[in-house]
A and B are shown apart, each in its own frame.
Chain A
């Protein structure tokens, strides 16, 4: 089976720190997919191109609230709806590793792909007039000038909680396939039939079960100091009123 590179994002440990957001921007603005422009960088309503953003939302009502940090970037769909709609062939999926890319030389900035993408993962660069998106740092991961340990997407390298796993989801023995299999990995909006390569791992909860006998122990240290309450020997007892 061909290779399909992807990210698996573990929501169980993501704390929403935005390290993936800015490390992506930092690598890519000076990389092959750059630049990544910023409008009004020092004025009202700053806005710029990001390949990866963290959305934070709440689930449930107080006090049963979950706060979810949800990093989102191009999901590198196995069946990407952005590719067939592209009138120039600029939007394409690589056969060798499944990465979905945009050829800036062919892109005319018509935004059809952005409309077709159900995940809102594409961002038009108003200055370069081309559509931009996550490349899985294709200009890093095959760069033989980098030490092998560094040949990973910038966001994966940066992530302080290692919430971002990277690998080939078609290889059942890869770290990402194992994580999806073992930790209930899921794809976003499967009903769209896009078969996203990126997956998410859900929150998992650890609880402690306490048994009553754990609080009633013979080795209770209060006994050593004579403080586990003992009845007064003068208090009424069965001994006082039974004669057989």
Chain B
């Protein structure tokens, strides 16, 4: 149901759901449950459920919402025929994109075995900046990858909207934290959600977080409030950077070529300038201590400076006064925040009696920590400057000495991982071959320009242009550009687009109305520009109307699911955790779990991993697949880490266990491995942990993961743009400047790209959204109880700002951006900074969708801010041969993260003669075959009572 993946207990009466409560034995939610979890009944029995496979009615137009029922046999026949043909000719013409997918390990495997590079989940328009910015810096990130240790923290700083990642565990932790006397500061343009209970709310202008973080860094460095020992030992702050302007390698850490590299992709032969003997020394030498500041000349005459010196120079002008003008936060407040962080980190040290050994062999009698922690997510990420902002955050956290230490940030297995992680895509189009699995992963972690997924002419191989020079580190893909690119045929046309659980015709697209038009658009020959669209979902959405084939999915109560370590993990700080769901109800109607659809198709299409040597089908069904699949034959690594081995006696790695599902079910459906305490901290550099992780096959190598204050990966891209350096590839001329600018190895602040091309006088306001707590990670307008909490949305406006425009509370207004306009209702709020307006996202619905009556609040009064947001911007440096209308994704230039939160708007009162109805409106759709066509006028749900 939800990306948080709490453990639940479902209680039945007479075959119906009596109630759902939290599983007290589950490490994530410890027995609690959210509003959505408690409303699962209304989701299960919603009249918007799809119950039959449907095909677009022959002769009807796409988008007309005319469908006929077909059997699953027929459905599979159609899919098999079509997909087999594409696979044997040009597999990239099949694209599989998924939304809030909790089975990415399977959907990704399916795409890879199919041989298409065109696969991604929703990360590109969600929070890829958070994943990439942190993982490229500290080898881990927030949410699934790690989080604040609020159990031992004293000061907790939450920046931007972040509440939903992940919601119940964070609520539990914040409550305990506050009750134990911790201080909670929220930095956010809006005071809602968890910010409401913060001890201090610091309003900030959207998209300026980077300026704040760099000013905090400035103040912390200049007052000496950083953890010098931590920086010296565990980061690359002391690495000497080559500053010789005549050197091919200028700007790279100096590598000592005389030292043997065991793992060339993770070199360890950098240099320090040893303070104890005033000589260069191999980095991390136990009896040396590097200078962090200063400038030196190597014996061969090369001028060098430690990375930290360069950081200090970088933030020199990022003063609190400078940041005040950008963020709207008074300089004195910025200084005080920096002092609070620095003094708390320094003076309230935690010392745990846990001995451990670091990667360089030094034994430590204690684990120590600095109790300052942070949390951030989409608020920082969904800006086109988000990657560098999040790098700034990770560096600030490192300066305070809070990485994988008690009271600070802590990793969750399988993180930390190498910087960058090992997984890679193919490097060129030769990795995509007919009837052959993809020669690599569809998504990976480029370490140099040579890892990009491009052809010899620098053109992207992927339909979304991920891993191209336009968005080199787009590690989660760019789902938000798939439809536009496929429609335009840039870089090429595709044949079949399969969408799982993503509402691309509404709230999951920027530029929504145009995307709807593109989905229906035909070429000169009368063929749809995207010829075939398959939609799999449990509910009728705005997207289903645009399908050629609809596959009805089960709900989370009707299927087997795994929360796998191969996917987005649900581990705890103490060690790996995975879990399963077992069905408590039979599938509704003809619903079939999407996993079963994939297993069936994989067998029919004879993917190597899904058939035996004789070509016969390998897996009976999804549970059988989960039990028996191994990443490689005999690897002992599968989807579930618990109860492996023939008798269930092994964990992490072991032969398939035929009774694994049974053993999970007997054990609360969850497997938790607790590491010995000495392996629970300092895991970037913990020798014991690395050896364990290597034996458990979480990591290939056991080398230390040194924090990248100065990013060697970014520098390699920058050097390629400057026409030098170790990489063979060079960006095309029109993108060289872009790469050189944004791939700065040190963090820097720039205005979001959209703001750079917007007339700030005409559009003075930032418009942002967030999801309401009752509907995190889902769209629940089909839920009779939840829609009573959020039936329609308002645009929240600061009263002083609104009054100046003559707008009264609850007035109908127009909100206008460069790209479009929306009519909605204004609601006064003193909890929003005057330069910002905001609303709950995805509450507005298209008329008739989700089987709501066409006049429902969601359609009549509610609205979608997406209509104001463009998926593209004018290309600032178009290729020389372009017609002048070249476009580029409205995304972070490093990661391709969608810039949802960058849009700028103006608002004005709607005319007195205008309809009191939200705008734009779309033609209402009706219920689909197999759906409950008669909407009940009232409900009185009582479980298990014979009617």
Contacts and interface: CB of A to CB of B under 8 A. Distances in A.
Contacts of B833: 62-63
A161 B174 contact: yes
Contacts of B175: 13, 160-163
A210 B343 contact: yes
Contacts of A62: 203, 798, 800, 830-834
Contacts of B263: none
Nearest to A67: B196
A21 B37 CA distance: 12
Contact of B942 (A16, A35, A40, A65): A35
A162 B178 CA distance: 12
Contacts of B860: 44
A157 B168 CA distance: 13
B21 interface: yes
A57 B643 CA distance: 50
Nearest to B776: A17
Contacts of B184: 206
Contact of A207 (B183, B192, B774): B183
Contacts of A158: 21-22, 32-34, 38
A214 interface: yes
Interface string B278-300: 00000000000001111000000
A84 to B, nearest CB: 31
B851 interface: yes
Contacts of B171: 15, 17, 160-161
A38 B785 contact: yes
B665 interface: no
B294 A43 contact: no
Nearest to B312: A227
A22 B832 contact: no
A232 B121 CA distance: 60
B791 A46 contact: yes
Contact of B172 (A42, A67, A161, A222): A161
A67 B191 contact: yes
Contact of B856 (A42, A50, A150, A157): A42
A208 interface: yes
Nearest to B24: A149
Contact of B773 (A16, A27, A50): A16
B224 interface: yes
Interface stretch (B71-79, B520-528, B813-821, B931-939): B931-939
Contacts of A173: none
A160 B19 contact: no
Contacts of B939: 37-38, 41, 48
Interface string A59-72: 01111011111000
A29 B787 CA distance: 17
A215 B20 CA distance: 53
A interface: dominant SS: loop
Given A38-B788, A226-B293, A13 B179 contact: yes
Interface string A130-161: 00000000000000000001100010011111
Contacts of A18: 35, 773-774, 789
B19 A14 contact: no
A124 interface: no
B141 interface: no
Contacts of A47: 788
A210 B178 CA distance: 20
A43 B179 contact: no
Interface in A161-200: 161-163
Contact of A13 (B29, B41, B197): B197
B784 interface: yes
A215 B293 contact: no
B420 to A, nearest CB: 30
A124 to B, nearest CB: 14
A40 B856 CA distance: 9
B829 A29 contact: no
Contact of A42 (B339, B343, B936): B936
A71 to B, nearest CB: 12
Nearest to B348: A208
A157 B22 contact: yes
Interface in B783-809: 784-789, 791, 798, 800
A214 B18 contact: no
A226 B228 CA distance: 13
Contacts of B788: 38, 46-48, 50
Contacts of A15: 163, 171, 174, 193-194, 196-197, 773
A30 B178 contact: no
Contact of B31 (A12, A22, A157, A225): A157
Contacts of B174: 13, 15, 161
A65 B939 CA distance: 39
B353 interface: no
Contacts of A223: 224
A25 B785 contact: yes
B831 A58 contact: yes
B167 interface: yes
Contacts of B24: 149
A22 B773 CA distance: 12
A161 B167 CA distance: 11
A65 B832 CA distance: 9
Given A16-B193, A44-B856, A48-B788, A30 B943 contact: yes
Nearest to B336: A210
B155 A42 contact: no
Contacts of B226: 221
A95 interface: no
A42 B38 contact: no
A224 B347 contact: no
B32 A159 contact: yes
Interface string B698-733: 000000000000000000000000000000000000
A159 B171 CA distance: 9
A189 B236 CA distance: 60
A43 B784 CA distance: 10
Nearest to B932: A42
B223 interface: yes
B857 interface: yes
Contacts of B857: 44-46
A39 B275 contact: no
Given A13-B175, A25-B785, A227-B293, A222 B791 contact: no
B199 interface: yes
A127 B41 contact: no
A25 B784 CA distance: 11
B668 interface: no
Of the candidates B20, B197, B834, the one having the most CB atoms from chain A within 10 angstroms of its own CB is B197
Contacts of B935: 41-43
B236 to A, nearest CB: 16
Interface in B141-198: 155, 163, 167-168, 171-172, 174-175, 178-179, 181-184, 191-197
B853 A43 contact: yes
Contacts of A88: none
B831 A65 contact: yes
B207 interface: no
A55 B548 CA distance: 44
B608 to A, nearest CB: 45
A42 B830 contact: no
A36 B938 CA distance: 11
Nearest to A38: B939
Interface of A: 12-19, 21-23, 25-27, 29-30, 34-48, 50, 58, 60-63, 65-69, 127-128, 149-150, 154, 157-163, 203-208, 210, 214-215, 217, 220-228
20 contacts: A15-B196, A17-B774, A18-B35, A18-B789, A21-B789, A22-B774, A29-B942, A30-B19, A38-B940, A38-B941, A42-B936, A43-B935, A45-B857, A46-B788, A48-B784, A48-B785, A214-B339, A214-B343, A215-B339, A223-B224
Given A13-B174, A222-B224, A228-B224, 6 more contacts: A15-B174, A19-B35, A21-B35, A30-B19, A157-B32, A227-B294
For the complex of A and B, 7 pairs with smallest distance between CB atoms: A221-B228, A161-B175, A41-B784, A220-B224, A160-B171, A43-B853, A18-B35
